[in-house]
Amino acid sequence: MVRVGAFSAIRSVLSGRASMAHPLLNIGLMLVCPECAAMPSLPPPNPGLYDEMFDGATPRAHYAAYAQWLDGLSDEALSARQREADLLFRRHGVTFTLRDNPALDRQIPFDIVPRILPAHEWVQLERGLRQRLAALNAFLHDIYHDRDILRAGVIPPEQVLTNPQYQVAMHGLDLPNRVYAHVAGVDLARHSDGAFYVLEDNLCVPSGVSYMLESRKMMRRLFPELFARLDIAPVEHYASLLLSTLREASPVAQPTVVVLTPGRHNAAYFEHAFLARQMGVELVEGQDLFVQNDRVWMRTTAGPQAVDVIYRRIDDAFLDPLAFNPDSLLGVPGLLSVYRKGQVALCNAPGAGVADDKSIYPYVPDMIRFYLGQEPLLNNVQTWQLRKPDDLAYVLTRLPELVVKEVHGSGGYGMLIGPLASRAEIAEFRQRILAAPANYIAQPTLALSTCPSVVEAGLAPRHVDLRPFVLSGGDIRIVAGGLSRVAMQAGSLVVNSAQGGGAKDTWIVEGA
């Protein structure tokens, strides 16, 4: 097993090696080599990459106490703890169903090396997240009301109005606190320049918060000594913040809240049940609800009971077969008409997805300036919109360097990672782009930062991102931290749970 000490020694030997590629394109190709991954002595990450724990050979200040503790832990102890974690997760049934094998509940790979951020850095991120969500909600209110931002020419109207996520049914509806995206999971990644960039604002039904909470529970159980020694910000009150946020979505004084799930065969069912349980509210399926006399009711053992707030974990298209997809068996017929009369709240609001669409993403900094009169605190990734002929022409010459994404895709599907793609794959993707350029955007390949993780052969750097969860109601509420997703394959940049990514606990540490 490669110990941290040895790991940093290798790093220091190699750190003189010059990075061959431009920093923006540097994705650590050394890590892609499968043979390397199998070798007992693992290579360090490409020196051009930012490592969360190490700056060269030395642990960063906020990792110093942890690294010291880790050095005192034997190889056997570390792998024993990892095995214990795997066993506990299996016993708890913490799962996420994979797309290509829906019959199989897959356990989320969990890594016991935490991703640590110093509190002063988190404070900056949190300010940026609050600002971003304030602007995104203001944008959603605007486009379903007066459309000031379109009339001002900041965003081309057709980008919004012809967007498939745009819901005409939302026109003129006044929502409490003008909040549309009550729960957002904003994906952030740290680039090799050390700065965080927003990858995506997930405003529809973002998942993963249960893994954040289960990861913390696991870490507390496995490493109580670390929690005693370090000042780690708690996250366990998330469910109570969520419940407060959901209640504020209703004008009723003591609203009845439910979680609406597509059912136990949905990939994120574990999370739906987890959150319902943590909030002490009912977990309902579409069949458990019905509409009568302009109210939504759930079928209970004591007869029908009125429902005021639905934290829905199903997509817009399946909410109401009368309003959207008529084939949907997951939704509740007539739900939208009750919603439009203000007799039930839906979280998140239908039509919120238009603001997290990849074609709208490039305009978020402009939204912040337009609605808040502030400069954005969080970085957007430079984005070429292939609907623009100039951008298209440029991107087509740079495909091997860039990441190209479908504007309406999610879960890491429908994307080309140029530096990792074969020539044939690039050629094939080029044809897809040319067939419908407006469906794609392109971005530089971000060099996602790495964090040491437990692998078969010991510790090795793996790419990570960060998904904090932002709750918007009367106030904006954020627990300090989020879900750090980790690409478990050497060199892989895909951290999505749906494609086999794993989770790490995220520690916001004071006094570091």
**Which residues of the chain form contacts with another protein (CB under 8 A)?**
90-93, 259, 263-264, 269-270, 272-274, 276-277, 282-285, 287-288, 290, 297-304
By beta-carbon proximity to another protein, the closer residue of 307 and 478 is 307
Closer to another protein by Cβ: residue 253 or 302: 302
The least CB distance from residue 263 to another protein, in Å, is 8
| C-alpha neighbours within 13 Å on the C-beta side of residue 78 | 24
Least spacing, CB of residue 281 vs another protein, in Å: 8
Residue 87 or 152 with smaller CB distance to another protein: 87
Compute the least distance from the CB of residue 309 to another protein, in Å: 16
Please tell me the distance from the alpha carbon of residue 62 to that of residue 41, in angstroms, as a whole number: 26
Nearer to another protein, 272 or 405 (CB): 272
Minimum distance, C-beta of residue 102 to another protein, in the bound complex (Å):
15
- The answer to whether 313 and 348 are in contact (CB under 8 A) is no
Closer Cβ to another protein, 258 or 509, answer by number = 258
Packed helices 4-14 and 64-71: angle between N→C axes, nearest 10 degrees: 120
Residue 91 CB, shortest distance to another protein, in Å, is: 6
Q: Shortest distance, CB of residue 330 to another protein, whole angstroms?
A: 14
Q: Which are the contacts of 393, defined by CB distance < 8 A and separation ≥ 6? A: none
Least separation in angstroms between CB 285 and another protein: 7
- Give dist(CA 316, CA 191) in Å, integer: 33
Residue 293 beta carbon to another protein: minimum distance, rounded to whole angstroms:
14
Secondary structure of 349-388 as H, E, C letters = CCCHHHHHCCCCHHHHHHHHHHHHCCCCCCEECCCEECCC
Q: Which is nearer to another protein, 103 or 168 (CB)?
A: 103
**Alpha helices for 250-329 (secondary structure H):** 269-279
Shortest spacing between CB 131 and another protein, in angstroms: 35
Q: Which two tokens stand for residue 419?
A: 């530096």
Cβ-based nearer residue to another protein, 27 or 85: 85
How far apart (Å, rounded) are the C-alpha atoms in residues 175 and 249?
Answer: 8
Strands 303-307, 282-284: pairing is: unpaired
Query: Which pairing describes strands 502-509 and 110-118: parallel, antiparallel, or unpaired?
Result: parallel
Copy the structure tokens of residue 194.
Answer: 């050390």
Q: Which is nearer to another protein, 90 or 171 (CB)?
A: 90
Residue 453 token pair: 């993780």
* C-alpha 235 chain-centroid distance: 16
Which is nearer to another protein, 189 or 296 (by Cβ)? Answer: 296
Q: Which is nearer to another protein, 231 or 236 (CB)?
A: 236
Structure tokens at 313: 């974990």
Please, what is the end-to-end C-alpha distance for the chain in angstroms?
Answer: 29
Instruction: Give the residues across from 406 on adjacent strands.
Output: 440
DSSP at 449: -
Closest approach, Cβ 86 to another protein, in A, equals 13
H/E element holding 235? none
Contact by Cβ (8 Å): 417, 28: no
Q: Report whether 47 contacts 19 (CB < 8 A).
A: yes
- Let me know: does 481 contact 235? Beta carbons within 8 Å: yes
